[in-house]
Amino acid sequence: MKKIRFAIAQFNPTVGDFAGNAERILEWVRQAEAQGADLVVFPELAISGYPVWDLANQEDFVAEGLRHLHKIVRATARWRVTVVLGFIDKAKPPSERSRNGQIWISRGKILGRHYKRLLPTYDVFLEDIFFQPGSTCRVIPWNGWRVGPTICEDIWDERYDEKPLKDLRAQRANLIVNISASPFYSGIDAGREALVRGHTKRYRFPMLYVNQVGAQDDLIFDGRSFFADAGGKILFRAPAFQEGLFCYDWNPGGANAAAPALEAPSRRIEEIYQALVLGVRDYCRKNGFDKALIGLSGGIDSALVAAIAADALGPERVLGIAMPGPYSSKGSWEDARDLAERLGLEFHIHPIREAYEALLQIYRSQRVSERKSGTDASEITLAMENLQARLRGLHLMYLSNDERRLLLSTGNKSELAMGYCTLYGDMAGGLSVLGDVLKTDVYRLARYRNGLKEVIPAATLEKPPSAELRPDQRDGDSLPPYEVLDEILRLYIEENQSRGAILRRLGKRRVLPEVVRDTLHKVDHNEYKRRQSAPILRVTQKAWFGRRMPITNRFR
């Protein structure tokens, strides 16, 4: 059998940018042709971008996508290379839902089509709402091969009665092509490869897996396309988090060298860091922000976000603002300045003390609240703590509006879980960078980044975490130690464990039953804050985005 040169189009589309996506698709096809590729394969919904949610059923949106698809089909008449694309096809009555399609194009002609059969509807996926499933899989004859076309979930068949790959095997498919838009979470790469290796060994066919790369709102796509032979051996891997057209020559008759082994576990923190950089970069780029803004507290969270933003956008596009308040330590703005200097950010110090005192005085003179504030001048109430955080939010949003800079919010998953954050205060911003990163991982990420170059000051890494909204405040006054807290949160949120199971897993030596109870209570109670959060970049298997909880909930 003849050698095949695959051109793996690990493509980063922008949702709705049909003209831009189509133009780049054609450019890549031209390059694939120039490189002598036999087949160039783009990811799921490459023309529209993925996910598009309800846009999938807007008539104009679908029509515009089809118009560009037909333009691409016509353009391929002049090339030899076969093109595989993901696209949205209009609904086939009586269904009212569009279809998630794959199309094979050669020399201006359509060789075949496939419609996604298994539509993931769980966690961050709601495809059954938007798409009508395809009912069959049909082998597409191509250059002497019997190709089995599949789209993403079609191969994640464990939870379904339908088994598209089995149907394709029955039709004597001898090469499977899967086009995906499979979002990243920490650990997914090993899961994907295990899945595909299992299938290829079971059914004895090779599989080309082509995944989208890039970020779309909360979701980050990691790419990492690969090719597995019929024995389950991974012969080729495209890089993670990197767009590009990657060629691989496969010799179906002869010997093919295996790709180097995955080094997943040791890379957990590195890959989360890279994912977050891509998430920030693409949110800015795709939404037309060329500059970002971060409130720098001198603490670890904002320091890490600043490093990520500097890596994503270039330090010259990132502005850091330290806003020391009445209870901020001197170290806090010194550490912030130190960080900004090491990263090369523009940096200013704008104390909030004057504004805080002016507002408090106005509130007192207006007798704004009769209840607490104003009665005992030495007391610092919750309202007063929040006022400090909200004055910073006000300040940053003023700057964001005035300079059209994206405000990045810096709260971590542990804080969001516990409600240890202020609505419209530190939660303000257009994108939450660390909202799916537990505090203990924030430290790991900071140390990882410092391992490349020491940008986060030692003082920031070493001092005990504090919101500094009252004298001598420490996170530890209100929260369990982060090592314990994060383990509880991970079990509760990511593994959906019960209170009893969490207690058993941690053991009574490490945690008191009241601490677990109180922690779960706080997570549930603070749903109302998270409901108003900016989109949160997802890096775990169960981020807030895919976890749907009521606000009104008396269960404790």
Closer residue to its own copies (CB): 16 or 331 = 16
Closer residue to its own copies (CB): 267 or 350 = 350
- Cβ-based burial of 124 (10 A; exposed 0-12, middle 13-18, buried ≥19): middle
Q: In what order do the strands lie in the sheet with 109-115?
A: 109-115, 99-106, 82-89, 39-41, 4-10, 244-250
399 contacts its own copies (rule: CB under 8 A): yes
Closer residue to its own copies (CB): 174 or 422 = 422
Q: Which two tokens stand for residue 527?
A: 């749903």
Cα distance between residue 303 and residue 455, in whole Å: 9
The number of beta carbons lying within 10 Å of the beta carbon of residue 328 is 21
CA neighbours within 13 Å on the CB side: how many for 447?
9
Q: Which span sits near its own copies by CB under 8 A: 135-143, 182-190, 283-291, 458-466?
A: 283-291
Catalytic, 44? Answer yes
- Which of 113, 197, 268, 395 binds its own copies (CB under 8 A)? It is 395
CB of 351: closest distance to its own copies in angstroms? 8
Cα distance between residue 500 and residue 545, in whole Å: 25
**Binding track, positions 237-276, relative to its own copies; x by CB under 8 A:** ----------------------------------------
553 contacts its own copies (rule: CB under 8 A): yes
Cα distance between residue 401 and residue 51, in whole Å: 28
Closer residue to its own copies (CB): 65 or 206 = 65
**Which is catalytic among the residues 64, 127, 137, 152?**
152
511 contacts its own copies (rule: CB under 8 A): no
Q: Which span sits near its own copies by CB under 8 A: 239-247, 266-274, 330-338, 353-361?
A: 353-361
Closer residue to its own copies (CB): 193 or 222 = 222
Q: Which two tokens stand for residue 476?
A: 């530890």
403 contacts its own copies (rule: CB under 8 A): yes
Catalytic, 116? Answer yes
CB of 362: closest distance to its own copies in angstroms? 5
CA angle 400, 401, 406 (to 5 degrees): 40
Q: Are 416 and 530 in contact (CB under 8 A)?
A: yes
Cα distance between residue 166 and residue 155, in whole Å: 10
Please report the beta strands in 37-128, taking only residues with DSSP state E, as ranges in sequence order. 39-41, 82-89, 99-106, 109-115, 121-122, 125-126
Closer residue to its own copies (CB): 195 or 383 = 383
List binders of its own copies among 435-494 (CB under 8 A): none
N- to C-terminal Cα separation, the chain = 64
CB of 556: closest distance to its own copies in angstroms? 8
List binders of its own copies among 76-105 (CB under 8 A): none
Q: Which span sits near its own copies by CB under 8 A: 186-194, 235-243, 281-289, 307-315?
A: 281-289
- Which of 135, 266, 378, 552 binds its own copies (CB under 8 A)? It is 552
By annotation, the residues acting in catalysis are 44, 116, 152
